[in-house]
Structure 1
Amino acid sequence: MRADVVFLTVAMLAVLTIGSMAQFAVAVVAPEAAPDIGVDATYIGVFIAIVYVFAMLSGATTGVFVARYGAIRVCQFTMLTGAAAMSVFALATPVAAIVSAVLLGCAYGPLNPASAHVLAGVSTSQWRPLVFSIKQAGVPLGGLVTGLVVPLLAIRFGWEVGLLAVASVALVVMIMLQPLRHGFDADRKLGRLFASLSVLTPLRLVFEDRTLRRFAITGFAYAGCQVSVGAFYVVYLVAALEMPLVKAGLIFALVQFGAVFGRVFWGVVAARTLSTRTLLVCLGGLSAACLAITAALSPEWPLAIVMVLGFVLGASSFGWVGIFLSEIAGLAPEGKASEATGGVQFVYFSGVVVVPPCFGAIINLTGSYATAFLAIAGLATGAAVYLMQPARFANKVNVEN
């Protein structure tokens, strides 16, 4: 792998890590911040929903901004906007929290399309799955760093300091990206107008092509399962298995470690052994199996087995994103990696908005976490079978523009 590819991969890993830290930071400080804001901590669910709605919209329109200003400049914008979101939330009012969620969504949405444009232009088809998987490892890595650092800052100095620390790091990364602009934003078109600034443009690119459409729908299911695990796993361990919160938090940390490991490991596998589509099908099946076993857990299960299960669940249900996005970048028409990624991301972020509330509704209707976990196990299985169906998969897709 060339030195410039390694350097850009590390740079995009830093961008994804900081973007993830900004998102997780609010959830981490929510119990401390909510009383100061004057709301219940459960409103973090509303906050996250606002974030993802605006992430869907901003991500789908990122391609136009990448074409005009360059992908590196867009990445700098995400760092600046993320820092602003943290700073506004620290004002501790309900209005500030809503504005912060909007800003955070506008920061989070462009991360994947912009970074995909950067890396698709320099990585070869052989190394692309590994490169994208390393980059996507920044999401769980950001969660790990936030979980370790922000609570300590919040306890010692106040929750506002924890958020402002994340904002400061985001600004540092924004400045450090500046030297990359000259070499890697050279393809920008300064005179391009915003007439094509529309959510429908990238969605049309995705849904008019059978292969991209199939991947997008699969991503909807996989992303919904992933975020359902992230949102309910600890609550399940505490409420249904009567596990102490500290122990449940430790097992959830293993899920995140599994996610970091999986995103890199599956990238290696896709680069050397299996095709990306085959591996994604296998990961859907493995996720479904882990979710079904999770549904069967009881307080009598040995802790070691629960810990191993959590690690594998993280590696499978969280580990798919990197190779998935690498395949989208490879399938996209020439020069449209950011646009195709934005369109596909809009669809799978929709899964994040739709599936977790359905998961919660199943729990409320049946009184059973096991039923909810079995339901998303079925969803993962169905998506894997759908992706496995014969279709004309090719390395590139020609799209009439």
Structure 2
Amino acid sequence: MLPLWVSALVATLLVQTVSSFSSLAVPLLGPPLMARAGLQPESIGLVSAMTSAGICWCLACGGPMLTRHGPIRTLQIGLACMAIGLFALSQPLGLLGLLGALAIGFGTGHNTPAGSQILVRAAPPRHRTLIFSIKQAGVPLGGALAGLVVAPLVLAQGLSAALGTVIAIALLTILLVQPFRRRMDADRGTNQPGWARALLSPAALARSVRVLRAHPSLPLLTALGASFSVMQSCLMAFTATYAITRHDASLAEAGRIVAAMQFSSMAGRIALGWLADRMGNALRHLVLQAVASALAVALLVMAGGQGSAALYACAALVGATAIGWNGVHMAELARVAPLHLVSDITSAAGLFGFMGSILGPLAFTLLVSLTGSYELAFLAMAAQLAAFGLASAALLRRHPPAA
């Protein structure tokens, strides 16, 4: 039998990768999906915002579901929600598609609290940040696979067949993680009542905010994560559409650009997790990364007229920085949180992060609609991250983080 931490990492990494593959297939299909609905390409930001709204709903009110069913069963429920959402999105009705995006987000949202609950109990403390980062590397791995696979599927089989394949992969993964359930869900609260009612409970939302008072570093960590999320959500939602509409890339080439960004993010998350373990100060590490990420996005915008090689290289740099922060952030949240509040605190911090993921694409869509410039919108999102990183650095100099 595998050691507990290995089983935990395998199960969470598999679900994280498939969830990312499934959810990131949607923005990759942005142009044909929006064209079928009779909308402008930048309207994919509305779908992205609805997906993030579903994640916020899950993080705000899904805690009792996790307690009742255990982390593995909760991850399986999330995959089922994603499959249902993708099916709804594959239909030609606009409102049904938006509800499908909400369901995809709700299914994706379980990965953060359930994965954190599993790993914080199983991971050796001296390698915790690295293990969290490996698990989070499933996000860009899934995105890279989507970039390489989804566009050729659309070209060969059509839009509906491509979405059907993604749905089948999500359903298969539910079966693949079932053998892990006995070990990982042993302490689930089988007598937990009212978890379904909590999904619509304002009290559950209020509690998810109150837990962020459990440690002095949590408010700054949460706000920094929200700023990163604004930037990351815009990169995820608009990079493919930007490459197609502004640089005349084909759907397949746009997928390869996204894949380069995602593969670099996967490597960056693992390397940054290892580095943060060695530095011993994850919060300062994140502040430095915020500024570096903003500079990388500025380079991506300037690379547009320098040829495809520069575009690929800058996309990879953006992936390693602006999309490589999550593992360090989650590990630091888990480190400072009381053990019994780990899933609640990661859910609450994630809630604010995904609020940024709602506002970011909406603001980006509005900026593009008003100015016609994707470049200006990307620079505005980078500017808010740089400003927040510099403000956080000043705050840390005055008030060093508590241990």
Report if TM-score (shorter chain) is over 0.5. yes
Q: CA RMSD in A?
A: 2.6
* Most deviating of 74-83 and 286-295: 286-295
Matched residue count: 391
Aligned amino acid, residue 210 of structure 1? P
Distance 1:172 1:64 in 2: 26
Counterpart in 2 of 1:315?
320
Distance 1:53 1:33 in 2: 20
Residue of structure 1 aligned with 2:210, choices 189, 198, 204: 204
Distance 1:355 1:253 in 2: 22
* C-alpha displacement of 1:304: 4.2
Aligned amino acid, residue 114 of structure 2? A
Local SS of the residue matching 2:186 = coil
CA gap of 1:269–1:210, structure 2 versus 1, over 3 A, is same
What is the TM-score with the length of structure 2 in the denominator?
Answer: 0.87
| 1:264 has 2:280 as partner | no
* C-alpha displacement of 1:85: 2.0
For structure 1, the 5+ residue unaligned runs are 396-401
* 8 A Cα contact 1:30 1:41, kept in partner: no
Aligned amino acid, residue 224 of structure 2? T
* Most deviating of 285-294 and 47-56: 285-294
Counterpart in 2 of 1:339?
344
Distance 2:127 2:365 in 1: 39
| 1:354 has 2:367 as partner | no
Distance 1:134 1:120 in 2: 13
Counterpart in 1 of 2:152?
152
Within 5 Å, which residues of 2 pair with 1:17-32? Answer: 17-32=17-32
Aligned amino acid, residue 16 of structure 2? L
* 8 A Cα contact 1:259 1:316, kept in partner: yes
* C-alpha displacement of 1:323: 0.9
Distance 1:369 1:90 in 2: 27
Aligned amino acid, residue 110 of structure 1? H
* 8 A Cα contact 1:125 1:330, kept in partner: no
Local SS of the residue matching 1:126 = helix
Counterpart in 2 of 1:216?
222
Q: Deviations over 1:231-286 (max 9, x none)?
A: 3445555656x454466554443222211111111111122344211221221121
Distance 1:35 1:372 in 2: 22
* C-alpha displacement of 1:307: 3.3
CA gap of 1:104–1:364, structure 2 versus 1, over 3 A, is closer
Distance 1:236 1:184 in 2: 42
* Most deviating of 264-273 and 378-387: 378-387
Q: Deviations over 1:327-351 (max 9, x none)?
A: 1111211222111111001101111
Aligned amino acid, residue 262 of structure 1? G
Aligned amino acid, residue 211 of structure 1? S
Local SS of the residue matching 2:123 = coil
Distance 1:23 1:338 in 2: 22
CA gap of 1:372–1:340, structure 2 versus 1, over 3 A, is same
Counterpart in 2 of 1:40?
39
Distance 2:267 2:207 in 1: 35
Q: Deviations over 1:149-168 (max 9, x none)?
A: 22333333332222222222
* 8 A Cα contact 1:5 1:122, kept in partner: yes
* C-alpha displacement of 1:320: 0.2
* 8 A Cα contact 2:143 2:259, kept in partner: no
Counterpart in 1 of 2:293?
287
CA gap of 1:61–1:249, structure 2 versus 1, over 3 A, is same
Local SS of the residue matching 1:40 = coil
Counterpart in 1 of 2:384?
379
Local SS of the residue matching 2:340 = coil
For structure 2, the 5+ residue unaligned runs are none
* Most deviating of 101-110 and 361-370: 361-370
* 8 A Cα contact 2:22 2:82, kept in partner: yes
Distance 1:12 1:122 in 2: 12
